[in-house]
C-alpha cells in the first residue's frame, strides 16, 4: 500500500516541477504562511484542499472535533510557534457539520472510551445551551452544537496566555470561526464576539 502513495507522490512532484521548475527550491527556503488553521482531524476536511491554498500558505493543527484545550501542549506549542516563530497574525478555527466528535457528544448512555474525555467540553456546551438547542430538531441541534463548539474554541484561543502575551507585545491578531459543510463543500464565517487582539 505505501507503494501506491510513493507513486502518487512522484507524479505530483514531477507535475509541479514541470510547471514551475523552482517551486520546491523556493518553498524549502522559507516557511511564511499567512494563516494558522485549527481544524478537525476528519479526513474530509483537509485545510489546504478546501481553502484552495498551496503548500506553505497555511500552518495547520488538526484534532478530533477541532478542540481547544488550554492544557493541550501539542496545540499550544503550535500556536506559540505560529505567532512567535512564523509571525502569523490570522488564526482560523474551523469546524464542520456532520462532525463525529460532536455527534458522539450528543449520545447518552454510550461510552466511546478515551475520546469521551476529549469531547467533554462539547457535552458541557450541550447542557449550557439546552434551551436554544431544545427548540431545534435533532439534525439542526447537532449543526448548531458544531458551531457553538467552534465559537467556544475561538474564545479559548483568545483567552490563552499565548494570545494575551502577544497582545501585550502589541501584536494585532485576528481569530475567526468558520464552519464547513460536507454536503456542498462551502465554508461559512461565524459571528464571534472575539475581536482582533
- Residues lying near Zn ion in the complex (CB under 5 A) are found at 40, 42, 99
> Residue 142 or residue 162: which is nearer to Zn ion going by CB?
142
Give the span between the Cα atoms of 187 and 125, in whole angstroms: 23
Out of 8, 10, 25, 44, pick the active-site residue. 44
> Residue 104 or residue 133: which is nearer to Zn ion going by CB?
104
Give the span between the Cα atoms of 115 and 153, in whole angstroms: 17
Residue 135 CB, nearest approach to Zn ion (Å): 24
- Does 89 qualify as catalytic in the annotation? no
- Does 96 qualify as catalytic in the annotation? yes
State the maximum Cα–Cα separation within the chain, in Å, rounded to a whole number: 58
Q: φ and ψ at 31, to 5 degrees?
A: -110, 110
Bridge partners (DSSP) of residue 90 are 35, 174
Out of 94, 99, 142, 144, pick the active-site residue. 99
> Residue 40 or residue 151: which is nearer to Zn ion going by CB?
40
Residue 98 CB, nearest approach to Zn ion (Å): 8
Give the span between the Cα atoms of 167 and 84, in whole angstroms: 12
Out of 8, 10, 11, 40, pick the active-site residue. 40
In angstroms, the Cα distances linking 197 to 1, 36, 159, 162, 193 are 46, 15, 10, 12, 12
H-run or E-run covering 52: none
Give the span between the Cα atoms of 61 and 109, in whole angstroms: 31
Residue 99 CB, nearest approach to Zn ion (Å): 3
> Residue 40 or residue 194: which is nearer to Zn ion going by CB?
40
- Does 94 qualify as catalytic in the annotation? no
Residue 113 CB, nearest approach to Zn ion (Å): 17
Provide the annotated active-site residues: 40, 42, 44, 96, 99
Amino acid at each position: 500500500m505505501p507503494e501506491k502513495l510513493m507513486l502518487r507522490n512522484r507524479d505530483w512532484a514531477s507535475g509541479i516541477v514541470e510547471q514551475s521548475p523552482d517551486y520546491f527550491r523556493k518553498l524549502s527556503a522559507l516557511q511564511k504562511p499567512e494563516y494558522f488553521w485549527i481544524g478537525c482531524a476528519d479526513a474530509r476536511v483537509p485545510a489546504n484542499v478546501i481553502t484552495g491554498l498551496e503548500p506553505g500558505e497555511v500552518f495547520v493543527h488538526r484534532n478530533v472535533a477541532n478542540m481547544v484545550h488550554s492544557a493541550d501542549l501539542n496545540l499550544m506549542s503550535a500556536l506559540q510557534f505560529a505567532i512567535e516563530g512564523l509571525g502569523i497574525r490570522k488564526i482560523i478555527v474551523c469546524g464542520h457539520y456532520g462532525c463525529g466528535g460532536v455527534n458522539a457528544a450528543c449520545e447518552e448512555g454510550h461510552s466511546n472510551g478515551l475520546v469521551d474525555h476529549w469531547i467533554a467540553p462539547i457535552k458541557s456546551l450541550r447542557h449550557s445551551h439546552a434551551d436554544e438547542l431544545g427548540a431545534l430538531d435533532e439534525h439542526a441541534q447537532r449543526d448548531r452544537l458544531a458551531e457553538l463548539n467552534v465559537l467556544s474554541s475561538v474564545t479559548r484561543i483568545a483567552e490563552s496566555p499565548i494570545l494575551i502575551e502577544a497582545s501585550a507585545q502589541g501584536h494585532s491578531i485576528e481569530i475567526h470561526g468558520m464552519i464547513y459543510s460536507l454536503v456542498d463543500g462551502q465554508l461559512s464565517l461565524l459571528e464571534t464576539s472575539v475581536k482582533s487582539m
